[in-house]
Structure 1
């Protein structure tokens, strides 16, 4: 099995290195990852500047893959279309430093890389580790590899997309796996207003994770209970149930008139 490994924390991030070590037990691993940290860039792609690509070696001098001066989505797109001899059988993005649960999925470069893989009809998995004072990446990578192995053993449909979040090691061993939907509640975010030494006003984003959420169980609530969460995603943002009602709205006078002549 050929595995493309990427992330949004940068090619030298310890989470990527730990996950690569475990994925090598499942197949051949090729790394194509950003040269610098790209956290929070979402699904941005580079349009107006060149993508500089450099080969990188592992610690023992063997070929590791490539680093790209671009976004996580750039990395996946470039790997599939240019850098690999053939499309990978699996794309893995991570391990991200911090969870990508709830609405954070929409901002995440880690998840965006997996979505890009799904565009190409390749099974793709995003892996993130809950924030803690100390990130135990080797421990998380072992659990992540087991989840990925189980996913692939069930032969998911090509282009299947999964978002996996791992609880912090300080919570103890994971209590198990829960397949849950993406949480939709807003986090306790805001901005702290400050002044720099020259008297200029600036703002620093604050962040308070939702440790107690009411309502339907989600990736956020299950993660805070110490479970590994698996959430199947799709990139079709169409609100399907609204399509038919919208066709019954009166759209006359917009565009062509009923007799085919231009509207006014």
Structure 2
């Protein structure tokens, strides 16, 4: 479904963000990307989202090279990025102009209900809490019905309780839709809650250090002994990735 083939990303100032990234994500699979500062996690997601071009290598969707933003790929950013002059419903409907009005309204109502905001379409972004705003951003992406969903640390700015609630909510939505999911996060627990596999990147430049299969039943239980054991393993693997670095290629 989604393939990253020998990706390098070097910026104009000479900084190499990624080196030699090879990764295949099957249709309906959830993969989390974790790594220390400078490991190129968000850069990787922007390449997959078609927002940036690789210096070398390519991104493929169903065997076809990605050459820019695609309708089949939806991206939820770290910040909600809502348009303040549009209502909640207007923000969710943004980008659905090609649909008949009745279908657009039906789809907006459906996704707002799915993210726990039923009946909130008439509110304005300035009236929303951080968690509600991020739910609207998620609804906006889901309304377009992408086959690939990219999440770029979407809960990092929220308080712990709101973050945990949204993590559980996204986990339930994914179980219903089974979209191909690529999540960038610095939160080991979040990676374990959502992912079938966790990819660990080394920093400066970002390279794949290790891939870990998450063999935990869904829905995941944060308080289980198996979950705690998996957290400890990932924490140690992440620590290894920060110390086992090699010099950047000239």
TM-score (norm 1): 0.34
Q: Structure with the greater relative contact order (CA < 8 A, sep ≥ 6): 1 or 2?
A: 2
Considering fraction of residues, name the structure with more helix: 2
